[in-house]
Structure 1
Amino acid sequence: MNYAAKQIGDPYRYGGTGPNSWDCSGLAGGSWRKAGVKLPRTTQQIYRSVKKKVSWKGAVKGDLLFFYGGRTHMGIYVGKGYMIHAPGRGKRVKKVKLNAYYKRNFKGGVRPGL
């Protein structure tokens, strides 16, 4: 989480894996790599490969949350109802409140490192 927080403000880039630009799965992978956990490259691969699944209400700091059909977007839960993510083209890495929009589009979560 601390590594992800340091990337706030970096630009989004499709396929970006850092250190100066990111896509959503690149940011998650880079952050967990700093913690010594290697994750696959894409959102779908990450969701499939991490065995420990978590619910919306069961999320804890560091969990990865997935959104939209096909789990095409993800963010890193940072606690107190917020996540850090690389939102998309033309935008920058940011911390956002997990509001009703995100809850409606939530498609699962995982807890790497277990």
Structure 2
Amino acid sequence: MSKIIRIIACSISCLTLVSCANLSTELRQNNSVKHQQLELNSRQLVAVLERFEEAQQAASDINEFSIREYHLPALSDSLIKRGKALVGTPYLYGGSNVNTGFDCSGFVGHVFKEELGIELPRTTAQLIQMDAPVIARSDLEPGDLILFNNQGRGRVSHVGIYMGNDQFIHSSSRRSGGVRIDKLSNRYWNASYLQAKRVLTEEQIIPAIESGQLLSRVSQ
């Protein structure tokens, strides 16, 4: 073989090797790019799924909140209706039974438990200490608890349920006929007003709503 032919053959061989090397490098680069693209696509897919899940949860939260908010007025209406049905029930100190009579906190506790399934503290001292929002007098809504200092000793001694339109229902005393409706602006009760608390909050009614107890009661 002539020298020129050997040189040409060698050159072709070198070019072939270089081409193969370049092709191998290009394939590795392409595979790397594809792998990176797959990783990017995977991360984007995970991000999209996470946003979708968050959106679903947000929608669920909004819907749940709307359900709770929607039923609050109906709950206070049913609560007050239950209380009004007990007007005339005699006063009994320490009483919490419709058959024998109620004291003030016994009446309030009975109405909330029987109508809404909400357990309240038994005494006025416990009620004023309970973990519930304190409401300004100007912001009273039906269903709020009104606490009074009607014994002139600087501490809570009476409780009733606000009905709206300046009225509240309570088990007043043996002398005044037990369960009755009075005006908050009455001179005696106005002077005795101490504090108001809101029991009809989401924290209190969520368990009963989720169990279906409140909805079944309201629909009756």
Taking structure 2 as the reference length, the TM-score comes to 0.50
The match for 1:103 among 159, 176, 190 is 190
- Would the aligned equivalents of 2:88 and 2:178 in 1 still touch at CA under 8 Å? yes
Larger displacement relative to structure 2 (98-107 or 61-70): 98-107
- Greater relative contact order, per chain length (Cα 8 Å cut-off, separation 6+): 1
Distance 1:80 1:113 in 2: 18
Shift of 1:107: 0.7
Misfit runs of 4+, over 3 Å: none
Partner of 1:77: 162
Q: What 5-or-longer segments of structure 1 have no aligned partner?
A: none
Q: What 5-or-longer segments of structure 2 have no aligned partner?
A: 1-79, 202-220
Q: Which amino acid aligns with 2:104?
A: C
**Taking every aligned residue pair, what percent have the same amino acid on both sides?**
32
- Would the aligned equivalents of 2:141 and 2:162 in 1 still touch at CA under 8 Å? yes
RMSD of aligned Cα (Å): 1.2
Alpha-carbon spacing, 1:19–1:87, altered in 2? closer, same or farther (3 Å): same
Q: Which has the higher strand share?
A: 1
Partner of 2:14: none
The match for 1:55 among 136, 143, 155 is 136
The match for 1:89 among 149, 154, 174 is 174
Alpha-carbon spacing, 1:19–1:50, altered in 2? closer, same or farther (3 Å): farther
Q: Which amino acid aligns with 2:116?
A: A
Partner of 1:6: 85
Q: Which amino acid aligns with 1:113?
A: L
Alpha-carbon spacing, 1:50–1:19, altered in 2? closer, same or farther (3 Å): farther
